[in-house]
Amino acid sequence: MKLLRWGPKGQEKPAILDKQGTARDLSGLVPDIAGPVLSDTGLAMLRGLDTANLPQVPQDARLGPCVGQTGKVICIGLNYSDHAAETGAQVPPEPITFMKATSALCGPNDPIIIPRGSEKTDWEVELAIIIGTTARYVSEDNALTHVAGYAVANDVSERAWQMEHSGQWTKGKSSDNFGQVGPWLVTRDEVSDPQALGLWLSVNGSKKQDGSTKTMVYGAAFLVSYLSRFFTLHPGDIVMTGTPPGVGLGMKPPQFLKPGDVVELGIDGLGQQRQDVVVDPRG
């Protein structure tokens, strides 16, 4: 099952993709793709709907982040050994964990906004885990039962702010429109193995990243279990699981995004995104 949200930013409505690939509005049935809707019971209710009688979403509608009411975005750094190597870093003995501000979240085709003063805005295609039910001290064997589904994410990063300024990585990860998520939340029953997904990203038609989640150092089940040791994961929380090699920082010489660039990315079975790169319209 593929769930999505559509409409103006901050006013998104829930929707479901029918078997013909047509988006159908759910706003008359559920308030959002969030909270109890993400539980196994909520998803089963949606799965049992006769979508043929639901209103169609306009084909030109803007898509928002595929999950709403996200309380926190937890990101995992250097989670692909080949990506760590390209950046000159060592594979960490435990997952590197940092936060991305929820205000960075946006729709899958919303632009990448280069913030004021940025010179090193970079791209990162990532598998996003969407939490469905509260997880606290969960075992690795049981971890994925707390997952509603998966999505494509672009963990956009400002490398100078992330790595050349003192302090934590969060400030290099949290600018507006630094977190495209979607187009869909694909429920976990449609993803037989989250560690067997191809993922890719191109800039201006030139492929930069072409990897697989099988090379993740720490897999999805381990990450949910590991994170739940330190804080409670709630429905709607997002875990961005790291990126494969091919980021701009790792190129020789490094390459970073500039206004006018077009970024496209996708993950097998989870859909694709397309983003225009623009300067911050606020100056």
Pick from 207, 185, 220: nearest CA to 43: 185
* Residue 55 forms part of a structural domain: no
* Residue 37 forms part of a structural domain: no
The count of domains in the chain is: 1
Write the DSSP assignment of 121-163 as a string of letters.
EE--EEEEEEE-S-BSS--TTTGGGGEEEEEEEEE-EEHIIII
Model pLDDT, residue 155: 98
* Residue 218 forms part of a structural domain: yes
This prediction has a pTM of: 0.96
* Residue 14 forms part of a structural domain: no
* Residue 36 forms part of a structural domain: no
Model pLDDT, residue 135: 98
CATH number at residue 170: 3.90.850.10
Q: What is the largest CA-CA distance in the chain?
A: 55
* Residue 97 forms part of a structural domain: yes
Domain extent at residue 114:
68-279
Model pLDDT, residue 140: 98
Profile the chain (283 residues) by mean pLDDT over runs of 10 residues: 98 97 97 98 97 96 98 95 73 92 98 96 98 98 98 97 87 97 98 98 98 96 98 98 95 96 98 97 80
- 86's enclosing H/E stretch is helix 81-86
* Residue 104 forms part of a structural domain: yes
Q: What are the φ and ψ backbone dihedral angles of 46, each rounded to 5 degrees? A: -65, -35
CA distance 199 to 244: 8
* Residue 39 forms part of a structural domain: no
